[in-house]
Amino acid sequence: MKNNIEITTNETLGETIHKKVLSNGLEVYICVRPGFTKKIGMFGTKYGSINNDFIDISNGKRVTMPDGIAHFLEHKLFEKEGENSLDLFSKEGISSNAYTSFDHTVYFFETIDKFKKGLEMLIELVKTPYFTVENVKKEQGIIGQEISMYEDDPNFNVYFNALRAMYINHPIRIDIAGTIESISKIDKDILYTCYNTFYNSNNMFIVIVGDVDVSDTISIIEDKLKLYEQNIKSEKVMKFGVVEPTNILQKKIEKDMGLFMPQLSIGYKLLPTKKNEIIKREVISDLISEMYFSKSSKFYETEYNKGAVSDDIDFVYEGTTDFSHIIISTMSSKLDIIQADIFKFIEELKSNEIDIKLFENTKRRKIGENIVESENSNNSYRRIIDSILNESKLYYDLEILSNITVEDIKDFLNTLEYSKAVISIVK
């Protein structure tokens, strides 16, 4: 600890991360990458599409908001009086954008030679909301078109229909952008309520990756924030979840979209788990994906020779402390064969012994991939954001990967119950 800065170094990846919690509660993470030309700045909030039930920070009252408001708010922050922040970044030659997920929202920029300018503009973007009756109405039309566009997207449909089959009450079953009906209920007052509650610094984080000076960067952040944070409450946010049954809503959903190559998603609904366990599940799922479903796997080779697969088979874990699932996705002209074979194969994996040699080789390969991919700045900030959201120590994923055992793989496979599995087909 130096000057209240916590320093974590990972010699294997050649990274050093400096963390400082500012007096307003904002967490700042600076991943120093000497020699890297690209610099990335990210300003995020622990606020996503599933956080619609919470205590209004201004009056202490519990409120429920329309679906899609976190994504709507992300769009609106780019609009300022008489100008759009994306255009301002572009004029400076700085790339900028944002995204909203189920549980967080992040605004970011990338630059080579205008880091200080980009960081100041990013903070100004996030800290100067401008909502009016007129610009909210205009945005409802824009996002309504976006929602309609996704309704015509096969990938979106096969994925969200799997979630809708798995979950009964949980808001994860609703599109991150909401529905045309739900966004029609959004007005400037509830946007300010959500902004003031979730965009208070105690609920936010800044992540920097690149060849930057740590002290100078923290000074830029502190000086810029002082311009916007007088008389603003900064305190812990209280959010409420829903009671979600352990059973699924329905076994199968099919949608006909006239596709040349039908798409399949199989979802396994799991019990939610504690935050540290989420990262462990992610690591285990990544290993299972590589061992048993990648193009180098025996299962893929068998299905390919049958003509049952024509593309990748994805095996992906998603979860927070109040939802958890596996999604297995692929494309196939022989959906009956591939879905039956996947279910059968999962049951065989649960019954049979884990191939130790395959496990050890895959584990070594994954450790090697982490080293190779450390040259990509994106992997650095993703690891930091995972650590923030799951309140885990930095590089915890690498620690788990090094210590994972075949028993861990087996235990996780045994949580995949056919009675909790759903089938989503777009044909």
Q: Is-catalytic flag, 229?
A: no
Domain assignment present for 241: no
Per-residue pLDDT tens, the chain, 427 aa: give them: 556 899 999 988 888 999 999 988 999 999 999 889 999 999 999 999 999 999 999 899 999 999 999 999 999 999 888 788 888 999 999 999 999 999 999 999 999 999 999 999 999 999 999 999 999 999 999 999 999 998 889 999 999 999 999 999 999 999 999 999 999 999 999 999 999 999 999 999 999 999 999 999 999 999 999 988 765 666 789 999 899 999 999 999 999 998 889 999 999 999 999 988 999 999 999 999 999 999 999 999 999 999 999 889 999 999 999 999 999 999 999 999 999 999 999 999 999 999 999 999 999 999 999 988 888 888 899 999 999 999 999 999 999 999 999 999 999 999 999 999 999 999 9
Same domain, residue pair 192 and 289? no
What is the rounded distance in angstroms from the CA atom of residue 60 to the CA atom of residue 110? 38
Report the SS3 class of residue 251.
coil
> Is the domain of 73 the same as that of 190?
yes
Do residues 277 and 415 both lie within one domain? Answer: yes
CATH number at residue 181: 3.30.830.10
**Token couple for 357:** 């040699």
Does residue 64 sit within a domain?
A: yes
Residues 52 and 108 in one domain: yes
Which residues are CB-contacts of 326 (< 8 A; sequence separation ≥ 6)? 267, 268, 270, 285, 315, 316, 317, 318, 416
Residue 234 within any structural domain of the chain? no
The structure tokens 């068998």 sit at: 302
Instruction: Please indicate, yes or no, whether residues 207 and 341 belong to a single structural domain of this protein.
Output: no
Give a yes or no: residue 97 inside a domain. Answer: yes
- Same domain? For 149 and 61 the reply is yes
CA 319 to CA 272: how far, in whole Å?
Answer: 7
pTM score: 0.94
Q: What is the DSSP string of 122-188?
A: HHHHHH-----HHHHHHHHHHHHHHHHHHHT-HHHHHHHHHHHHH-SS-GGGS-TT--HHHHTT--H
Q: Is residue 236 domain-resident?
A: no
Note whether residue 157 is domain-resident: yes
Q: How many domains does the chain have?
A: 2
Catalytic site residue from 11, 15, 27, 74: 74
| Residue at 28 is within a domain | yes
Domain residue limits at 324: 252-426
